[in-house]
Amino acid sequence: MGAKSSFEAIIIGCGIAGASLAYFLAEQGMTDVLILEREEQPGYHSTGRSAAVLVELDFIPSILQLKILGAGFLRKPPDGFSENPLIRQSGILILFQGQLWETVRQMIPGLRQAGAVVDVLSHKEVVSMVPVVSPENFDGAVLLPEDGQLDVNELLWSYLRHARLRGIQLRLKEEVKGIKVDQGRCSGVIASSGEYQSRWVINAAGAWAGNIRKLVGRTPVQLTPYRRTIITFAAPEGLNVKDWPLTADLSHELYFAPESGGMLASPMEEEPMEPCDARTDELVIAQTIERLKQLTPRLVPKSISSKWAGLRTFAPDQAMVVGEDPVLKGFFWLSGQGGSGIETSPAVGQIASDLIVNGRTELIDAQHISPMRFTE
Ligand X SMILES: Cc1cc2nc3c(=O)[nH]c(=O)nc-3n(C[C@H](O)[C@H](O)[C@H](O)COP(=O)(O)OP(=O)(O)OC[C@H]3O[C@@H](n4cnc5c(N)ncnc54)[C@H](O)[C@@H]3O)c2cc1C
Which residues of the chain form contacts with ligand X (CB under 6 A)?
12-18, 36-39, 43-47, 49-53, 175-176, 204-208, 212, 228, 230, 310-312, 337-343
Query: Under a CB-based contact definition with an 8 Å cutoff, are residues 330 and 199 in contact?
Result: yes
Pick between residue 204 and residue 351 the one whose CB is nearest to ligand X: 204
Minimal distance, residue 310 CB to ligand X, in Å: 3
Pick between residue 139 and residue 288 the one whose CB is nearest to ligand X: 288
140 Rama class: left (phi>0) / alpha (psi -120 to 50) / beta: beta
Minimal distance, residue 280 CB to ligand X, in Å: 10
Minimal distance, residue 300 CB to ligand X, in Å: 21
Minimal distance, residue 60 CB to ligand X, in Å: 13
Minimal distance, residue 15 CB to ligand X, in Å: 2
Query: Under a CB-based contact definition with an 8 Å cutoff, are residues 108 and 121 in contact?
Result: no
Exposed, middle or buried by CB within 10 Å (0-12, 13-18, 19+), for 308? middle
- CA atoms of 218 and 240, how far apart (whole Å): 54
Pick between residue 60 and residue 127 the one whose CB is nearest to ligand X: 60
- CA atoms of 371 and 332, how far apart (whole Å): 9
Minimal distance, residue 296 CB to ligand X, in Å: 19
* Closest to 78 in 3D by CA, of 135, 19, 159: 159
192 Rama class: left (phi>0) / alpha (psi -120 to 50) / beta: alpha
Minimal distance, residue 41 CB to ligand X, in Å: 9
Pick between residue 14 and residue 347 the one whose CB is nearest to ligand X: 14
- Written as one string, the DSSP assignment of 282-318 is HHHHHHHHHHHHHH-GGG--SS-SEEEEEEEEE-TTS
Minimal distance, residue 273 CB to ligand X, in Å: 12
Pick between residue 70 and residue 139 the one whose CB is nearest to ligand X: 70
* Closest to 298 in 3D by CA, of 359, 247, 341, 332: 247
Pick between residue 5 and residue 134 the one whose CB is nearest to ligand X: 5
Pick between residue 139 and residue 342 the one whose CB is nearest to ligand X: 342
- CA atoms of 231 and 280, how far apart (whole Å): 9
Minimal distance, residue 102 CB to ligand X, in Å: 25
Query: Under a CB-based contact definition with an 8 Å cutoff, are residues 64 and 58 in contact?
Result: yes
CA distances (Å), origin 98, targets 215, 230, 340: 46, 26, 25
Pick between residue 122 and residue 363 the one whose CB is nearest to ligand X: 363
Amino acid at 157: W
Report CA torsion sign: 346, 352, 353, 354. positive
* Closest to 13 in 3D by CA, of 185, 201, 153, 158: 201
Pick between residue 139 and residue 338 the one whose CB is nearest to ligand X: 338
